[in-house]
Structure 1
Amino acid sequence: MSITAPDPVTSRTVTLREARVPEGGLYEGTRTLQPFPEGWEERPYEHIEVVPQTRVIGAEIRGADLTRPLSPALREEINRALLEWKVIFFRGADLTPDQQAAFGRHWGELETNPILARGAREDIVRFEKGGNAAPTFENVWHTDVTFRERPAMGSILQLREVPPIGGHTMWADMAAAYDNLSDEVKERIDGAVAVHDFIPGFDRFTTHERLLELQDQFPPTEHPVVRRHPETGRRMLFVNTSFTTHIVGMDRTESDRLLAHLVRQAHVPEYQVRFAWQPGDIAFWDNRATQHYALFDYAPHRRVAERVAIVGDRPF
């Protein structure tokens, strides 16, 4: 709509130029930043200290010895911190592979992953990047293994070797991303289902022969575009660049345009936390509620990390 008004200097009638910008962009303004679900009961912590790192995502946990089995009370508080802050950090935990796996098993069965390099145990994945490392599949916003029928509930990553500069990891809160969508977009994706497939995420870094060996083991699967958190009930965006191929029932152009808008939400800094690693640090993230991005900005130096992932439920 054109707007005309008198020019305050010349008194001539002038027309304001159209405020045209590309469709589907990210724009400035106030964003809703609510860390906890509506009605969530905030309680004091008695066994750990929780130090938030941003308004909505990320907290450092102090006072927990992860080298020993967790008491029920300590496990409950760590889990509550995970639900509230989506990714939690333990400085200098320095766990052995067995201790790292034992810590993860407090939350359930551990995954094995035949696509990625194995670490010291069958249920540990190893990420080792050297000076001449091949391109990496880690430096893109993604949620782990959404191509599975039951994507990981959470992942626990420990840095064994840290480069002298760079190598940080970032996480984005996908509940905040959903909260700030327009009502129009929320209506379009309410009840929508998307297809997830491992091949797009690994095609650039894996031989086609290896992909052929694995494709029957990991057929495409469908998940809701907006999932509900099984413990908090919060609604969260559940699509990502690596594995989400299309929205069911939409033509390709419409699906691509809508997915591009949705996955772009992880790029909003207000929804993010960035972690600078030191050797022995642990990050434990809620894979149901976040996306993450591992920066590959440290060549020619090395970065070595090991991860366990906990089997999750089927998204709903």
Structure 2
Amino acid sequence: MTVNVNPADFTFFEIKQLSPMIGAELSGLKLSGDLPDAAISEIRRALLEFKVVFFRDQHELTAAEHIAFARRFGDLEIHPATPKGQEDPEILRITHDETSKGRENAWHSDVTWRPEPSLGSILRAREVPPFGGDTLFSCMYAAYDGLSPAMKEWVSGLTARHDIARVFAGRLNKSIEELHAQYPVLEHPVVRTHPETGRRALYVNTAFTDQIVGLSKKESDWLLAHLYTFAAVPEHQCRFRWEAGSLAFWDNRACQHYAASDYFPQRRVMERVTIAGDRPFFDPER
């Protein structure tokens, strides 16, 4: 399902589509001011259509305005990796340099170990390397559509376990038992119905999905490996070249992302504010 949007339907910004399936740059809009509700409505509509939207040259945006802009789309969540006592806990700062190589280079949806994984995130580039450090985004509607009819029918009735310890074991000064006490392993549908668009999206990811419920470990590993390949299909993707002052706003319910860690030992500093989401579900009637 390709994106089919009439740019004339939007009055607050111009749209430059990045690929047939996913991604668009929205230009002509400054996020540092108090945007009218109509502008927020258009941004949300563009987000639902393109799955990820990008803004350039937002250098004047302060941390407080970054948080305030994200809050226009819903309640905000605090990531457990945010240092305790941070003045602005809504912002997760992600810094990589010669002392810390990037580790986000795997296709994933964010925080699927939560009962209500995030609606989406707004990621801002503070410092970027002279080249490298791009982020790729993949459309999970297209991933689902790429399955065979028989596979669609099978996986649409399955659920999978999602486990925070797959990534964060040993990284939050907590044992696996402590992590699971605070964030129990959860089950979500393998195919998710988007709560706003009604579209079906593949909802398993290499970072946090642990096993498909009801299958043996061998069967689950085979099926997950097969499903994961559909995020990696280039025709399902767009790629964003960061500049300082750029922002990406992605719909975590409809896409996955991959931060290319090809810039080591150069420095890359990003700031992320995340919007709380809702419980994933599968509706067989939609």
What is the TM-score with the length of structure 1 in the denominator? 0.84
Contact (CA 8 Å) 2:81, 2:172: kept in 1 or not? no
Partner of 1:181: 147
| Pairing 1:172–2:135 present | no
Match of 1:312 among 248, 268, 277: 277
Partner of 2:122: 156
Q: What is the correspondence of 1:29-178 to structure 2 with a 5 Å cutoff?
A: 33-35=1-3, 44-94=9-59, 95-116=61-82, 121-133=88-100, 135-178=101-144
Deviation (angstroms), 1:42: 8.7
CA distance in 2, matches of 1:163, 1:136: 12
Counterparts of 2:247 and 2:139, CA distance in 1: 19
Residues 82, 91 of structure 2: 8 Å contact kept: no
Letter matched to residue 35 of structure 1: V
Is the CA contact 1:137–1:202 (under 8 Å) kept in the aligned structure 2? no
Q: Which runs of 5+ in 1 are unaligned?
A: 1-32
Work out the CA distance in 2 between the residues paired with 1:231 and 1:70: 23
Matched, 1:273 2:238: yes
Q: Partners in 1 of 2:200 and 2:95 — Cα distance? A: 35
After TM superposition, where is structure 1 displaced by more than 4 Å over at least 4 residues in a row? Answer: 40-43, 116-120
Which secondary structure does the structure 2 equivalent of 1:157 belong to?
Answer: strand
**CA shift at 1:67, angstroms?**
0.4
Report the Cα distance in structure 1 between the residues aligned to 2:174 and 2:156, rounded to whole angstroms: 38
2:23 and 2:213 map into 1 onto residues whose CA distance is: 33
Aligned 8 A contact 1:147 1:220 in 2: yes
Deviations 1:40-96 (A, max 9, x none): 999711221111011110000012220012211101110110001000000011221
Q: 1:116 to 1:296 in 2, by over 3 A?
A: farther
- Within a 5 Å distance, the mapping from 1:294-305 to structure 2 comes to 294-305=259-270
Distance 1:234 1:207 in 2: 35
Q: TM-score, normalised by structure 2?
A: 0.93
Deviation (angstroms), 1:132: 2.2
Show structure 2 runs of 5+ residues with no match.
Answer: 282-286
Q: Bigger radius of gyration, 1 or 2?
A: 1
Alpha-carbon distance in 2 for matches of 1:43, 1:230? 26
- Shift of residue 211, structure 1, vs aligned partner: 4.2
Root-mean-square deviation over aligned CA pairs: 1.8
Deviation, structure 1 residue 210: 4.8
Give the percent of matched residue pairs that are identical in Structure 1 and Structure 2.
49
Query: Cα gap change, 1:67/1:305 in structure 2, threshold over 3 Å: closer, same or farther?
Result: same
Question: Which residue is 2:206 aligned to?
Answer: 241
